[in-house]
Amino acid sequence: MRRMKISIFSLLLIMFCLPVSAQRIVLSDTLKKYDVDYPYYLEDKDASLNFESVVSKTFVKAEDKVPDFLGNLSDAIWYRFNISNKTNETQWFLEVKAGFMHNISIYQINEDGSVKSLTLNVNNHSKHKSVASNNLIFPITILKNSEKTIFIRSTSKTLIRTSMSIGTMQKLYEDKTFTSFGDGFFTAIAVALLLYNLFVYFMLREKVYLHYIGYISIAILHNNLVAGYIQAALPFPDWINTTTVLPVMCFFSILFTNSFLQSKEYAPLIYKFRLPLLLICIIPLICYALGWYRIAILQSATLIFMLCIYWVIAGIIAYRNGLAPAAFYLGGYGILVVVSIVYELKMKGLLPENYWTDSSLFIGVAIESVILSFALANKFNFYKKEKERLQNEAYQQATRFSRELISMQEAERKRIASELHDSLGQKLVLIKNKILKTSLSETKETQQLSEDTLTQNVADAIQEIRNISYGLRPYQLDLLGLTSSIKSMAEDSFDTTEIDYNIDLQNIDSFFDNEAQINIYRIIQECIHNIIKHADAKNIYIIIKKIDNQIKITITDDGIGFSSDENKMGFGLKGIKERLQILGGTMNVDSNFNKGSLFEFLIPLQ
Amino acid sequence: MNIEKIKILIADDHPIFLKGLQEVLEDADNLEVVHKADNGTDAIDLALKNEIDIAILDIDMPGANGLQVAEQILAKKPGVAIILLTMHKAKDTFLKALEIGISGYVLKENAVVDIISAISAVNKFQSYISPEMSSYLLNNKNRNGNDSTLKLELLTPSKKK
């Protein structure tokens, strides 16, 4: 509130000074800061004017509170204002919030006409400065009830935006403490999230995290460069400045936008524009390298303005196309756009100058990094949930299959049990009774007769056991190999039916291990079983061929066919699929009603 | 009685059956069980290292099955007569055995009756098949006419190379 009052006060002052056509700042309170608003300036097209020639020239009043001379291609800008001191304090300071500026010279003309000049610039290290700070601070000694005329010359390799204010050291120090704390605090938030996302990147190896890190770190760098902190703390080369950093930030923001919004899928139009935009990012850098500083900063500013539109549209498109996290994205970049507008409005004098507007870029980047990092965490969570869901699904599928397997096993046991009990058991009961009966009979002939039938009964029992055992496990696989086993099985199966068959097998014994062999055997057995049971076929062809490095098994019949609806497939077909999956093979089923059916299996060699 | 006895190797993984078989064989005067094995690999070792006249082999054995054992023995010692003793009353197994070149195929269920006849047939360089096996083979004619016996080469692709 106090700052606002100051602004209004200085505004009134300026209005009061208007008729004189010179800006006059009256210092009346040592605990107030006096902003040099709407300054009078002079363009120096090729930076050729010197102080002596400027004194007599006419200055014009700026339309903005703090003009930024964007689009003005002059190499140097001169400012002029008068200071009049009504207080007892003689030591005042001019603070220029322009750590990023190339070169600023101040000329003080005393009432007696003597001139004192001082030049400060980015490259001056602290020991050359009268006051070491991120802002450029010029001491002004002014006696009570006296007046001074101040001339200021600014040149810059980037933006010429000279936000000037006058105050006592106490006032400047007090304000500085608050600002530095705030800027440091918000920078720290962004840096902390940067580190967090760096760790996440190392964990997930997802490019989007890297793009976030690139974008936020450059944004932090940009803010600290604009505020002059970095130049004050580190010996930084002056080519790292707003003009060169902004395009890099834009570059990463384009990458981040596209990877975060998955624009290829959710916003194809945005995706199409990304390459030309990335290329445009290089243009300001080229201009800067060629020494066209004023053009370069104009391009950087235009680029960031274009990107504001790009971000917002990208976010809206992706959100509309169903990408929920795009809301976070819009929030994050929306904040950045809003604070940029706030900052510009402050510079134009439409918003009061206070900490919140002054450091709005710091706050904006901090909030943005929080929101985007929250979005990334959300995404991380989403991945985790998706993974869990898939795992769960796989687990359930496995459970379902093992349940089916167990019930199959039980059915099989039941079948074996009933075979043992009903047929073999009955036969043995019969044998036992015959033995009992034989021991009771008297004549030699009847004894001989029952011995013969007994032998036959036992032989039958042995055959029964043989049938059961062969049904459980094809003995041929161990004794004769896969090819012969398949052949025998097919022949034995069809010999008991009315089906004519034709079998053409290449020898494939040496291509598969035991487990694969039994799987192949069972697949063919299941097909044959189904054909005999359901197809009502007259002819069947079984062909096994080695083609390149896979085995092709073709089984065709001329039966009634079936609808190849996968949902209706029984456990037999499911079993075939499971076995085929283990073998890494593929299946092709073709069947039409009354047109027979074709099963084709391709199994890769091991 | 100084007649040289026929030296026999028997191999079966069922100890009771092995013992029973030995008793049946040694009841005959001219037979002598010189070696016993309870698995295929031992059977091969014993047959190759020692002098034997006849090897009586079960088909289902751990290590190497009877067919493999027979193949190995015949490859090195073609003079040894092989009698397979088996539960398998199946055409394919029989054909495979025939192809290897065994001299006798005896069903286990009839072993007590058939084995002595088999040995004496083999001893006269004749072949022997259990009567029950031959009647099974004759009854089980292939309907389609594409009888496996006619396509023996399908079972022996390794020998076509």
Question: Quick check: A475 and B144 CB within 8 A?
Answer: no
Question: Quick check: A459 and B143 CB within 8 A?
Answer: no
Q: Which pLDDT band holds residue B141 (cuts at 50, 70, 90)?
A: low
Element (H, E) at B139: helix B131-139
Q: Which residues in chain B have their CB less than 8 angstroms from residue A505's CB?
A: 154
Q: Which residues in chain B have their CB less than 8 angstroms from residue A514's CB?
A: none
Give yes or no for a contact between B73 and B51, defined as CB atoms under 8 angstroms apart: no
The predicted model scores a pTM of 0.59
pLDDT in tens, B23-55: 988 888 888 899 999 999 999 999 999 999 999
- The residue ranges of chain A whose pLDDT is under 50 are 1, 3, 11-20, 567
User: pLDDT value at position A19?
Assistant: 42
pLDDT in tens, A5-32: 555 555 444 444 444 457 888 999 888 8
pLDDT in tens, B45-102: 999 999 999 999 999 888 888 999 999 999 999 989 999 998 888 888 898 899 999 9
The whole-chain average pLDDT of chain A stands at 85
The complex scores an ipTM of 0.74
Interface of B with A (CB under 8 A): 59-60, 65, 67, 87-93, 96, 109, 132, 140, 142-144, 146, 148, 154-155, 157-158
Long-range contacts (CB closer than 8 Å, 24 or more residues apart) made by A228-235: A228/A97, A228/A98, A228/A99, A228/A100, A228/A133, A228/A134, A228/A135, A228/A136, A229/A99, A229/A134, A229/A183, A231/A99, A231/A100, A231/A122, A231/A134, A232/A99, A232/A126, A232/A132, A232/A133, A232/A134, A235/A125
Q: Which residues in chain A have their CB less than 8 angstroms from residue B132's CB?
A: 459
pLDDT in tens, A213-272: 999 999 999 988 888 888 877 777 778 888 889 999 999 999 999 998 888 888 888 899
Question: SS3 of B111, please?
Answer: helix
Residues B133, B134, B136: CA angle, nearest 5 degrees: 65
Question: Quick check: A505 and B154 CB within 8 A?
Answer: yes
CA distance B73 to chain A (A): 17
Question: Quick check: A475 and B90 CB within 8 A?
Answer: yes
Reported residue count of chain A is 606
CA distance B64 to chain A (A): 10
Residue B90's alpha-carbon distances to A105, A466, A474, B132, in angstroms, are 112, 10, 12, 11
pLDDT in tens, B110-122: 888 889 999 999 9
What number of helices (H) and strands (E) belong to chain B? 7, 6
Q: Which residues in chain B have their CB less than 8 angstroms from residue A477's CB?
A: none
Q: Which residues in chain A have their CB less than 8 angstroms from residue B60's CB?
A: 475, 478-479
Nearest to B92 among A462, A476, A507 (CB): A476
Both structure tokens of A305 = 């303005």
Nearest to B65 among A459, A478, A484 (CB): A478
**Cβ-based neighbours of A468, under 8 Å, separated by 6 or more:** A416, A419, A420, A424
User: pLDDT value at position A494?
Assistant: 86
**Cβ-based neighbours of B135, under 8 Å, separated by 6 or more:** none
The CA R_g of chain B, rounded to the nearest whole Å, is 16
Exposure string of A477-511, with b = 16+ CB inside 10 Å and e = fewer, is bbbbbbbbbbbbbbbbbbeeeebebebebebbeeb
pLDDT at B147 over 50: no
CA distance B109 to chain A (A): 8
CA distance A577 to chain B (A): 29
The conformation of residue B128, written as its DSSP 8-state character, comes to E
Question: Quick check: B92 and A483 CB within 8 A?
Answer: no
Both structure tokens of A3 = 């700052």
- Whether A498 contacts chain B with CB within 8 A: no
Residue A519's alpha-carbon distances to A398, A402, A470, A574, in angstroms, are 19, 17, 16, 13
Question: Quick check: A484 and B92 CB within 8 A?
Answer: yes
Give yes or no for a contact between A81 and A40, defined as CB atoms under 8 angstroms apart: yes
Q: Which residues pair with A56 in a beta bridge?
A: none
Question: Quick check: A462 and B148 CB within 8 A?
Answer: no
Question: SS3 of B160, please?
Answer: coil
Question: Quick check: B148 and A487 CB within 8 A?
Answer: yes
